[in-house]
Structure 1
Amino acid sequence: MPSQIHRRHLAPSESLASMFQFCSRLEAMARELVNPISDLFDVACRHHTVKVSCQCGNVGIFDPHALWYLFERKGWNDRLPAVRKRMRCLQCYYAKRKRTLATLELADVDHTRQLPMPDIVEWKRQLRRRR
C-alpha cells in the first residue's frame, strides 16, 4: 500500500526533468542576483563573450579574457558602462562619421575579433586577488 501512495505522488520523468531544468535556471538567476556582472573580469569569470554592436550595423564579438587584459594593460576602467564608452567602430572611424555609443551584450558564441590573451600567471594572480 505505501508504494501505491508513493506512485500517485510521483510525477512522470518528463516533468521531473523539466522541474530539474527550472530549478537549475532559478539557481543560476539567484547566483546572478547575488553576484551581478559589473565589469569585464566578471564577464570573463563566467565565460561569456562580449558582443559589441554599432548603430551602422557593424558587430564585433570579443573574448572576455582578452578584452579584460587590454583594459588592464592600458589602465582603463573595466566597468561595463565605461567599456561601452571606450569601444569605437572602425568602419565609422574610417568613414569619418560621428562617434556613437556602442551597444554591449553578453553572448555565448565564438569570438570574431582577435586580441592578445593574458598570460596564465597574470590571470591566476587576478583570480586569487579578487576572491
Structure 2
Amino acid sequence: MNRNGIDAAGSAATTGAARADYDHVGRRLRTLEQCALYKRTLRLTCPRCGHVRVLDAVCLWWMFNRRGWDDGLPAVAARLCCAGCREQKATARPRVTVGREPPTGTPLPYPDEATWKKLVSRHRS
C-alpha cells in the first residue's frame, strides 16, 4: 500500500486513507490550478472563531487567475480572511485543507467555457 492508501491492485483502502491533497499518481497538489484540474475543494477553517467555509477550487482559481495573484496553496491562505472575524474588525487567516466536500455558502463565479477548456487542454498536453 502506498502513502495514498492505494494497494498494488490500484484500489483505495476502505479506511479512507486515500488523500484528497494528492493526484491520481501520488503527487501532492501544490497550486489552485492543480486542485481545480482534479476537481477538489478547499476547506477554510478560521483559527480564531472556528468558522468553516468550503470553496470550489475552480472558482477560486479563476478569481486568483483574473487578479494575477500567486496560486500556490500557501499564498492562497495569505490572501483570504475569515468573513465573521472581519465583521468584528479582526483579521484571521484561515487554515487551508484540500478535500472533496461539496462547496458551502454563496458560490463564486466559474470561468467561461473557453477559458476552462484552454486550461484543461494545456494540462493534458
> Shorter-chain TM-score: what band?
0.7 to 0.9
Tell me, which stretches of 5 or more residues in structure 1 are unaligned?
A: 1-20
Letter of the 2:33 counterpart:
F
Q: Please, what TM-score do these two structures have when normalized by structure 1?
A: 0.73
Deviation, 1:128, is: 2.3
Where does residue 17 of structure 1 map in the other structure?
none
Which structure: greater helix fraction? 1
Q: Provide the alpha-carbon RMSD of the alignment.
A: 2.0
Where does residue 69 of structure 1 map in the other structure?
62
Q: Choose 1 or 2 for highest CA Rg.
A: 1
- Whether the 8 Å contact between 2:77 and 2:96 is mirrored in structure 1 is yes
Q: What's the secondary structure of 1:62's corresponding residue?
A: strand
Where does residue 115 of structure 2 map in the other structure?
122
Deviation, 1:38, is: 1.1
Q: Is 2:69 aligned against 1:84?
A: no
Where does residue 42 of structure 2 map in the other structure?
50
Tell me, which stretches of 5 or more residues in structure 2 are unaligned?
A: 1-5
What are the within-5 Å matches in structure 2 for residues 75-114 of structure 1? 75-97=68-90, 99-113=91-105, 114=107
Where does residue 22 of structure 1 map in the other structure?
7
Q: Please, what TM-score do these two structures have when normalized by structure 2?
A: 0.76
Deviation, 1:107, is: 1.4
Ranges of 4+ aligned residues in structure 1 off by more than 3 Å: none
> In the TM superposition, what whole-angstrom CA distance separates every residue of 1:110-129 from its partner, at most 9, and x where no partner exists?
10131001111101112223
> In the TM superposition, what whole-angstrom CA distance separates every residue of 1:78-125 from its partner, at most 9, and x where no partner exists?
11000010111111111012x233101111111013100111110111
> In the TM superposition, what whole-angstrom CA distance separates every residue of 1:38-96 from its partner, at most 9, and x where no partner exists?
10010111111110110111111001111100111111111100001011111111101
Letter of the 1:106 counterpart:
V
